[in-house]
Amino acid sequence: MTPDQVRARAFAMPLTNPSYPPGPYRFLRREYLIIAYRTDPAALARILPKPLVAPEPIVKYEFIRMPDSTGFGDYTESGQVIPVRFGDQHGGYVHAMYLDDDPPIAGGRELWGFPKKLASPVLRVEHDTLVGTLDVGGVRVASASMGYKHRPLPAPALRAALEEPGFLLKIIPHVDGRPRICELVRYHLADIVLHGGWTGPAALSLVPHALAPVAELPVLEVLSATHLLADLTLELGEVVHDYLG
């Protein structure tokens, strides 16, 4: 294979059999359970990278069920998103993500910089309750519950929340271990089709774990819960800050 042929095929690793296909990446019937909670401001300050700013000490713990996604298949995800401000723009900083499928782990980390790690999240309905759990190495790290479809939420507010940008810290090391890429990345969701959204009573419990430290942002008060279904496209990102530049 010539150098020109390598460059022409070098979309992702491995070169001759990439872990995921080129985008766009479309998700159908994507289902969210999002529990917003108040946390310790000092703990939040220790993990949030500047120039991002958290207007309030709030975290959104998410479970996302993705039964039909282009190139990535059928999988479930769980993690923490922090409402932030970047200059005058409001959005969400993705702090932690745990999921059960290799292609979105590889693609998420390589393309955008999503902080994805392998684990065993579940989002399911048990009778009258929407339940989310995250197990890591046989340890139950997160448990969430919400009354199933108690009250509908207005579509404009749901759409506005989905249309806010997301922010990621993309890190790719050099072969000697030094950071070769260290960038703040912004991304958007597009072509959103809402199928419904609801709220209800909710609870969230986080347990300390050495390799999945979601409990380092402790739950001081549950503020709200959202259950929503939507089709959407995950767009590719753009670099908004270079930590090495």
Catalytic residues, by residue number, are 116
d(CA 139, CA 112): 28
Torsion of CA 88, 95, 165, 62, to 10 degrees: -130
Mention every residue, 6+ apart, whose C-beta is less than 8 A from residue 47: 95, 216, 217
Q: How many CB atoms lie within 10 A of CB 173?
A: 11
On whether the CB atoms of residues 54 and 60 are closer than 8 A, the answer is no
Three-state DSSP class for 159?
helix
Dihedral sign, Cα of residue 179, residue 180, residue 183, residue 189: negative
CB 144 within 8 A of CB 61: yes
